[in-house]
Structure 1
Amino acid sequence: MTTAPSGTAPAAEGVGPLLRAWREQRRISQLELALRADSSARHISFIETGRSRPSEEMVLRLAEHLDVPVRERNALLLAAGYAPRFPHTPLDDPALEVLRDGIERLIGGFEPYPALVVDAMYDVVAANRGVTMLFDGISPALLEPPLNAMRLTLHPQGLAPRILNLRQWRGHLLEQMERQIALRRSAPLRALYEEVAAFPVPEAGGGIAEEPQGPVAYFALPMLLEHEGRTLSFVSSISTFNTPMDVTVAELAVETLLPADPATAKYLQSRLS
C-alpha cells in the first residue's frame, strides 16, 4: 500500500509564496520562468502574489522548470489545493520488488569494487561485499541499523581515522551535503549535516594531510583509505534514477567506488574473487 507525504510546508501558506521561494532560490526571474513554462511574467506574478490560482498542470509545470524535488512537488500541490500526485512507497513494499531486485543485481555485479545505495538521509539501503569488507575496525554502534553513510565515513570511530586525506575528503562530503540541503531544503538533512560537521577530525592516521598522487588526482579527488597495512585509492561516482514518479525512488542514489590505481583493483580482485 502506498502513501503520499504531507509535504514540508503548510497548505495555509499558499502555493504562491512557495513557488516564489523556489524561483528565487534557483535565481530565475519571473520572465525567464514564464518563457520556460510557456506562460507570461504577469501570470507568474499573479500566482506568486495569490491573485491567481494555478491549475494543477501549471503547478507541476512550474515545479519541473524549477527543478523542485518530487517530495516538494507534492507539498506545492497540497498548498494549491490539489491532491498529491507522487506516491511515497516504502522500499520493502511488494510494488518495488522489481526495483529492489534490480538494485541488488546492479551493486552485486559491481563486485569486487564497493557499491552502495543510500536514501535522502544517506541511510544505506543496500551494499555489496566490496563495501562491507572495508568495515574492519568500525565501532559496532555505527553498524547498527539504519547504517548512515556519512556517520560511517566521518565519525572518529568509523572510517575517518583510516582516510589518509581526511580533510580533503571530509570537505568534499560536506559540500555534497550542502548542495543537497540547498536542493531539498530538508530540516532533517540539515540536522545530520550539523551533526557530522561537528565530529572532531581524528589525530590518528598520520597521513591525514597526504596529497593524492597519480594520474587520477588530476581529474578527480580520490579517497585514500588505509586497509590492512596498505593504501587503497577510490574515486566516487553517484547516479540517480531518471524521471522517477515515486518519492522513495526519486531520493535513492547509487554510489560506486572505482579503483583509482591498478594496485587497488588487483587487491580487491584477489580478496573477493
Structure 2
Amino acid sequence: MISNPFGKKQPKSGKPAEIKEVKARDPRPGEQPIVHSFGSSVAELFDYIFGEQDRFRSHWASGWSARGFSKKENRDFFMACMDGYSSQDIILMQFGSVDVQFNVAHRMATGNFMDPEGFCQEAANGFIKMVETLYEAGFRNVYCVFASAPVPLPAIYFRKKFNLPSVPARYQAQLFARINELIASKVPMIDLTKTLANDLGLLKQPYRRTYRDHHADYIKIQGIVWDQLKSIDGIAPCRETFLTKLYPHRPKKIKAMMEKWDIESTDIKAREVLKPKKKTAGTKKKA
C-alpha cells in the first residue's frame, strides 16, 4: 500500500524556529556527485529521466515560481533541501512555467499586466538570486534547463481547469525566450527550444500528449533531454530503461510543502505505480 506518494517520509511538523545557514560540504573520498532537480511540475520530467536511484534527488513542486525567489523564505526552503550535500553535486533548475502560464494569467484576470519586460526581469532576477545564493553557499554546478516549450491549447482549457484566462501560446513563447535570454547571461543554460519547439517557439506536435495538457509528453522527450544532460561532467546515469507510459500526475503544492517544511525527495517509485483517479460527476480537476 502506498501511504505517501509525495515524499519518502511523512512531512516535518513545520518551519523550524531558526533557519540554519546551509553551506556545501567538501566531497568525501571516492564520492560521486548527486543530481538534485528543482522546479515546478515541469521538472517532474527529471523523475522520468533518472528514476529512483542513490544519485538523484527530486524536489519539484506545483506552483513554484522563479519570481518567488525574491523572497528569502523561498530561498531558505530551497537551501534546506540542499543541507548536508557536497559542493560537487549537480543542481538542475527548471523554473518559469508558473510565472509565464499562471502568474501572467492572474495579472490578466485582475487587469494588472501592463509591463511585460518588467515581469520578465522579475522572473529572471528571482531565478538569478537563487543561483547566487547557491554559489555563495559553495554549490557551483548549477544549470538552468528549459525543456518546456508552451503547448497551444484552447482558451477553455485554462478557464475550466484553473479558472484563469489563457495566455496565448505564442505570447508565452516570447516571454519564455526573454526570461531565458536574461538568465543565460548569468547562469549556464541548457535550452532545448531549437530541438523541441517549432519556428513559433511552440512545442512540436510529436512531443505533445495525446490529450489536452500544458505539459509535454515526458515519454517522448526524455531521451532527447537526456542527450543534452549527459555531457555534464560527473552527472548520474539515466534509468537503465526509460518508461514507456506516463504515470498519473499528482500535484504537490509548494505552499503546503513550505508550511510543513517538507524537504524530502520525491518518492518516484510510489508515483510510478499510482492509478488514474476515477472521475466523478461534479469533480473539479486540481492544478
TM bucket (normalised to shorter chain) is: under 0.3
The structure whose RCO (Cα within 8 Å, separation 6+) is larger is: 2
Higher helix share: 1
**TM superposition score normalised by structure 2:** 0.24
- Structure number with greater Rg is 1
